[in-house]
Amino acid sequence: VTSRWVALDVGETLIDETRIWSTWADVLGIPRLTLMAALGAEVVLDNGHTSSFGLAGAPDWRTHFEEVEEVYGGFKEEDLYPDALPAVQALCTAGYRVAILANQPARRTAELRALGFEPDVMAMSDEMGAHKPDPAFFARTLELLGSPDPGTVAYVGDRVDNDVLPSLAMGMHPVWIRRGPWGVIQTLPEDARSGTMVVASLTELVERIDELWG
């Protein structure tokens, strides 16, 4: 019936990132609360999330990347928001074409497949050669979907800066999911309000998705 697409972000949209931030804190020897508070401060200041490591006292965080990855061990079932898999399955059942396209290392694609995600299209930024909020990421997204009219594509994410505004600028329908640090702290600019659907969960997204094209 429909050739409409729902493309989803990963971090704080499908995956609760509490465990990876906790892993970073533990490896860097920073109390978890301190690192997470620093992240919140950087979100308020519109700085990149990596500045929180410096703010919390670990400017050399980059040298710990592989150690963190080893301790973290990739996405696990416990990291999933409980509504993530059911929502993706419900969207597929409802006839939507579903994509998962996000700023993540390439290895996350296989990890998400292992957790049971079987979207029509899935790729991470490190495989796509472009990262949000670069418009090139959203142009590449459209290519991977087979170049549909952007107005037939919803992009679902937790960040106003990385997800909502650049997908809106590309002519897609942004859906802002208000969970995670960015989802609760950021605010939607006045001129983006009428074009953005705001939801509290992916369950609400499934219930209201038809409104986008009503």
Please, which of residues 113-172 interact with Mg ion by CB under 5 A?
158
Any alpha helices (H) in 49-107, and if so which ranges?
51-55, 65-72, 84-93
SS3 category, 85: helix
Which residues are 199's β-sheet partners? 177
- Measured from the CB atom, the residue of 79 and 158 that comes closer to Mg ion is 158
Work out the burial of residue 147: count CB atoms within 10 Å of its CB; fewer than 13 is exposed, 13-18 middle, 19 or more buried.
exposed
Least CB distance to Mg ion at residue 137 (A): 13
Stretch that binds Mg ion, among 3-11, 28-36, 38-46, 90-98 (CB under 5 A): 3-11
**Residue of 4, 6, 7, 11 that binds Mg ion (CB under 5 A):** 11
Stretch that binds Mg ion, among 9-17, 104-112, 115-123, 133-141 (CB under 5 A): 9-17
Least CB distance to Mg ion at residue 112 (A): 14
- Measured from the CB atom, the residue of 96 and 155 that comes closer to Mg ion is 155
Spatial CB neighbours of 12, under 8 Å, sequence gap ≥ 6 = 158, 159, 177, 179, 180, 181, 182, 183
Which residues are 99's β-sheet partners? 7, 121
Distance, CA of 184 to CA of 21 (rounded, Å): 17
> Does 79 engage in binding with Mg ion (CB under 5 A)?
no
Least CB distance to Mg ion at residue 157 (A): 5
Least CB distance to Mg ion at residue 126 (A): 15
Chain positions contacting Mg ion, by CB under 5 A: 9, 11-12, 158
